Structure 1
Amino acid sequence: MKKLFIFAAILLASISCKQEPKENAKLSDLFDRYYEEKLSFFPLEATSQGDNRFNDQLPIDISTDFRNKISGFYSKYLGELDEIDPKTLSEEEQVYYNTLRFELNSQLEGLTFPTNLIPFNQFWGLPLTIAQLGSGASSQPFKTTKDYEDWLVRIDKFTVWADTAIANFNAGIKQQYVLPTSLIKKMIPQMNDLANTSVEKSLFYGPINNFPADMDSLTKVTLTEKYKSAITEKIIPTYKKLGSYLSNVYLKAGRASSGVGMLPKGPSFYAYSAYSWTTTTKKPDEIMQLGFGEVSRIKKEMEKVKEQVGFKGTLEEFFTSLKNDPKLMPYKEPEEILEAFRQIQKKIDPNLSKMFNLTPKTKFEIRRTEAFREASASAEYMQGSADGSRPGIFYIPIPDAKTFNVTSGMESLFLHEAIPGHHYQISLQQENQKLPKFMRFGGYGAYAEGWALYCESLGKELGLYTDPFQYMGALGDEMHRAIRLVVDVGIHAKGWTREEALKYMMENEAISEQGATAEIERYMALPGQALSYKIGAIKIRELRNRYTKQMGDKFNLAEFHDQILKNGCLPLSVLEETMDIWAGTKGTVQ
């Protein structure tokens, strides 16, 4: 694995200079060109950012030709970075420089593994993304005639992508680079559900059911015929082809092992995945031991809560009682639950000003999840637009208000998904026009999810967690992330079976077998992704503890949070360098 690029000494040298370096025009131009060219390679990212220039584009990103071209793209910009002397850069520019260098090296290393031979799985991949976009309820716009025509072009290219996917799956079979059988079984009904439908009931008919009010009748008729034809002749046959292939060919070739460790280059791939997702050099063994320690610590906290409320019985029995106690399900109407979340916001407002100087301009709203997706949705944050025209929205699904349990972690959920978690971090990043666009609209899970999980730990300081049942919910959320450190490494590096991972999860948290199965199979499909949350939160807490000790009375929590959020989503390695330098300017780093 390539080494992380550490430039702390260079940064300290630049800070010690009396005169700040002038803006490096060459570097600024490099950032701009990199962002623009990257969007042409990844047009779906442009669409998600509201950039409509590439809405008809869909590259065959799993093809050898594409991978060669994108490798050349990353190498070209890495070469250009090498031509710039970091000593000539300002402190902020060096942060941007280091972030792009990390990104380029990480992406190039990822291309050394044949991940395109598993082009999609049950959790994510283009067949699922295309369905979301084509429904008209996602980022693909359907406001103008051109929008509708763009989507038809994209569908033409999706049929080619699907044929390439089947060819890649076949190549993977020959190289014994395949998915676990249990995951393939979950993919088949997904494809069949999208294929076995009438045209008018197809998810892809959504845009036709929701024409813009100002579109003329003749255009509507013309587009309706085109969409019916596309669904009948292209979309449904493509999903049928994928479903048939998975059922009749690929399922027979599925592997019995659960983790990637048994694949060709498997151990190296998992080590890379852990590095890529955590943006640190922590080894899988170290991460697993960290997880065991966190599970033990959190379980002791749960035992304290059990004793505090006077429950007689085991922790497992306490979990069961929490899920079934009618006193913990006090709501009758959805509006009561929304109001309870609004009260959480009001409760923390007075303390937020003590802990944050930087706050976003983007407005914030709490809404109930729409009815059409409420039954299967999780609570989530949908970011606002960079120009402030669309607010950040905290969505809460409430399919049945009478079964909504307060121990679901309402307070910790609000801190994570809303304020000061994702809303503060994402909004401040998007609003910061000083950042290069690749950073304003990019990010790393270890930082973003780590920040949100760290924010859950601020509950008591913000005036929350005074109710032991709400605190128990927060501990349950934290336990879930700690368990991930154990089972992800167990599955992919220690040879754990799916069943062994399920057993460990269900022994250590209050979760149904159905819920645990979905979680474990997610980790099987996305090696390393589940590590990012807890690793990021631990790093931010570690930095806070370090500077509190070093700075003593000089430590200011609001300033610390401002610095964490200042540069947006960073690799944790770059964040730590930057934060150490911030503390060093105060004469505290030893």
Structure 2
Amino acid sequence: MKKIIIAVLTMASLMACNNGQNHTATNADFAKTVDDYYEERLKLFPLEATFQGDDRYNDQLPNSISQEFLDQTRAFYGSYLKKLTAFDREKLSEQDQISYDILKRELELQLEQFTFHLEYVPFSQFEGLTLTFGQLGSGAGAQPFATVKDYDDWLKRVSAFRVWGDTAVANFRKGLAAGVVWPKSLVEKMIPQMTDLVVTDPTKSLFYGPINRLPKDFGEADKTRLTAAYKTAILEEIVPTYKKLGDFLKNEYLPKARTSSGVDAWPQGAELYQYEVRTWTTTDKTPEEIYQTGLKEVARIRGEMEKVKTQVGFTGTLDQFFTHLKTDPKLYPYKQPKEVLAAFNAILAKIEPNLKKMFTQTPKSKFEIRQTEKFREASASAEYNPASADGSRPGIFYVPIPDATKFNVTSGMESLFLHEAIPGHHYQISLQQENTDLPKFRRFAWYGAYGEGWALYCESLGRELGLYTDPYQYMGALNDEIHRAIRLVVDVAIHTKQMTREQAIQYMMANEPIAEDGAVAEIERYMAIPGQALSYKIGALKIRELRAKYEQQLGDKFSLAAFHDEFLKDGCMPLDVLERKMDAWAARQGN
């Protein structure tokens, strides 16, 4: 369950003030405070620094689930909330007021999380250090392996992994005692993720990847030393830790895992879910409001699907059409993973001419499409991994292709690309990171309602970008859209209405053409990270609402490119802060 919302942004630009020296001093002090917050935070969470391309802490791996660390972070957030609220918000520049509002909300939420003891479920089948560690140590992720120091840095991180693993076991035991326990179906997925990394031959380990790619310019002595050290680290540190975790989950935790699906089974479960809804949607909407919105959206999109069914001449029911989409061999044209990747590259070529009309500002960061690594593709979704802030690592759109012959064209390839790649996550995250006028805590921040909302909104731009001309690809886009609407229904129902895992899977399969294994993976994801799946649709609805409002308000003065540029230029923020900023922009356009 993601409880560290990645903070984002750079040096606060000192906005010129017109109110004399006191005002200037206030802004300078504020800029220093938010920069100090960001720098201190990176020391606490060095993995965030690594993912941002900041290599200062690449040798560190704090025991982030220990009581000592939790006490330290609580004190850190409390201290900065006190420093922040000492400023008079009204005396700050417009950009600093945005920073103030974002940071105040963030600090208050972070402090609130400690009451729920989320350290009692230190990882799940969907996220956690157990999975991130494999990505970093494979040599193909964010952890750099270019210099001898890089290789030594990773060895130091490895040396701390066993301590983290021991604490994870201890914390899971505390969770068992307190009634904060994962559902059985999730634990069954977690066990093979541990055991698959247990090897007897270190050269067969995922973590041997960096040795297989040792730079040619390393001296022979370093090559020999590092090869031996990595073999030892794999056999004496990494493998025993994954084995211990796998054995514990299988022998001790699984028999006591719960059969219920929602967090309402936990002590304080109802309060936790409301907290997660506020965190992920960045709104004060109630779970029930969101549930009702979901039901309405599912009904609306089903109406659109009926139109496509009629357009392609299918005469059966919508359910029968879903079955046809899943079983018609013509909709499975691929034989090799490279053909799937080529199809995604063709989508990029098709939209490029129209992107120029809809965006004035585009990222400098490079972009690549890659197949997801074998070790994690079985449980992975297509995803975007951001470029490093300095541009040394490209933004990467990862596509899991366990079997190319089972890749269906109506899986929404066009809408998926718009969402995960361009202009979705790649444009939004890259432009945010590249904006060095933003304070760092904002440059590198992430809010799902903004970021995922933007990506889902980008799916709705398909026709304007020259896509969705094939009714089956448009059906794929509708599949993706209804998928996000279904999330509003099942996420709330699982966690507040005792909807079971099986009922949620059936509801999903009844309303979109998704294979059962896909529905299972999705529903189990919502069980593992309550509320996160709500952020997409809630954010996209807000962006559409704002666009429609300004189109009506400004008439001929409305520019879609200017709207997009303004939306993206200041980076991720909660939706209420966003609306205030966009209203101010619209007022300026109207003058």
What is the TM-score of this pair, normalised by structure 2? 0.91
Q: Does 1:350 align with 2:369?
A: no
* Offset, 1:465: 1.5
Task: Give the corresponding residue for 1:56.
Answer: 59
Q: Does 1:517 align with 2:520?
A: yes
Identity percentage of aligned residues: 63
The 5 A counterparts of 1:371-450 are 378-396=381-399, 404-450=407-453
Task: Give the corresponding residue for 1:76.
Answer: 79
How far apart in 2 are the matches of 1:430 and 1:489? 33
Change (3 A) 1:339 1:515: closer
Change (3 A) 1:292 1:55: same
Question: How large is the Cα RMSD of the aligned pairs?
Answer: 2.5
Letter in 1 for 2:123: F
Change (3 A) 1:180 1:375: closer
Change (3 A) 1:395 1:572: same
How far apart in 2 are the matches of 1:239 and 1:65? 23
Change (3 A) 1:539 1:16: farther
Q: Does 1:182 align with 2:185?
A: yes
Task: Give the corresponding residue for 2:468.
Answer: 465
Letter in 1 for 2:583: D
Task: Give the corresponding residue for 2:509.
Answer: 506
The 5 A counterparts of 1:179-328 are 179-328=182-331
Conserved? CA contact 1:355–1:561, under 8 Å: yes
How far apart in 1 are the matches of 2:185 and 2:380? 23
Conserved? CA contact 2:379–2:521, under 8 Å: no
Change (3 A) 1:343 1:199: closer
Letter in 1 for 2:72: K
How far apart in 2 are the matches of 1:152 and 1:564? 42
How far apart in 1 are the matches of 2:101 and 2:156? 38
Letter in 2 for 1:505: M
Task: Give the corresponding residue for 1:93.
Answer: 96
* Offset, 1:520: 0.9
How far apart in 1 are the matches of 2:408 and 2:179? 46
How far apart in 2 are the matches of 1:371 and 1:167? 30
Task: Give the corresponding residue for 1:127.
Answer: 130
Letter in 2 for 1:485: L
Task: Give the corresponding residue for 1:5.
Answer: none
Unaligned runs of 5+ in 2: 1-14
Conserved? CA contact 1:15–1:91, under 8 Å: no
How far apart in 2 are the matches of 1:197 and 1:273? 41
Change (3 A) 1:333 1:44: closer
Post-superposition Cα deviations, 1:174-231, rounded to whole Å, max 9, x if no partner, equal 1111111221222222222222443221222222222111111222222222222222
| Aligned positions, number | 575
How far apart in 1 are the matches of 2:578 and 2:82? 23
Conserved? CA contact 1:185–1:251, under 8 Å: yes
Q: Which structure has the higher relative contact order (CA within 8 Å, separation 6+)?
A: 2
Conserved? CA contact 2:17–2:93, under 8 Å: no
How far apart in 1 are the matches of 2:67 and 2:391? 40
Q: Does 1:67 align with 2:70?
A: yes
Conserved? CA contact 1:22–1:90, under 8 Å: no
How far apart in 2 are the matches of 1:183 and 1:373? 16
Post-superposition Cα deviations, 1:324-351, rounded to whole Å, max 9, x if no partner, equal 3343345566666555444433433333
Post-superposition Cα deviations, 1:383-416, rounded to whole Å, max 9, x if no partner, equal 3332334443444455665654332212212211
Conserved? CA contact 1:435–1:567, under 8 Å: yes
Counterpart secondary structure, 2:71: helix
Conserved? CA contact 2:200–2:235, under 8 Å: no
Counterpart secondary structure, 1:458: coil
* Offset, 1:143: 2.2
Counterpart secondary structure, 2:384: strand
* Offset, 1:378: 4.3
Conserved? CA contact 2:412–2:475, under 8 Å: yes
Unaligned runs of 5+ in 1: 1-13
Given candidates 113, 121, 126, the residue that maps to 1:110 is: 113
How far apart in 2 are the matches of 1:294 and 1:16? 46
Q: Does 1:559 align with 2:553?
A: no
Letter in 2 for 1:529: Q
Conserved? CA contact 1:43–1:54, under 8 Å: yes
Change (3 A) 1:261 1:550: same
Change (3 A) 1:17 1:587: farther
Change (3 A) 1:188 1:403: closer
How far apart in 2 are the matches of 1:172 and 1:302? 44
Counterpart secondary structure, 1:195: coil
Counterpart secondary structure, 2:547: helix
Task: Give the corresponding residue for 2:7.
Answer: none
What is the TM-score of this pair, normalised by structure 1? 0.92
Conserved? CA contact 1:180–1:255, under 8 Å: yes
* Offset, 1:258: 0.7
Counterpart secondary structure, 2:202: coil
* Offset, 1:264: 0.6
How far apart in 2 are the matches of 1:330 and 1:309? 18
Counterpart secondary structure, 1:381: strand
Post-superposition Cα deviations, 1:557-590, rounded to whole Å, max 9, x if no partner, equal 22211111111111112111211222234569xx
How far apart in 2 are the matches of 1:375 and 1:75? 40
How far apart in 1 are the matches of 2:53 and 2:139? 14
Counterpart secondary structure, 1:124: coil
Counterpart secondary structure, 1:471: helix
Counterpart secondary structure, 1:194: coil
Change (3 A) 1:15 1:489: farther
Letter in 2 for 1:518: A
How far apart in 2 are the matches of 1:158 and 1:373? 19
Counterpart secondary structure, 1:483: helix
* Offset, 1:423: 1.8
Q: Which deviates more from structure 2 when the two are superposed, residues 334-343 or residues 301-310?
A: 334-343
Change (3 A) 1:208 1:353: closer
* Offset, 1:556: 2.2
Task: Give the corresponding residue for 1:8.
Answer: none
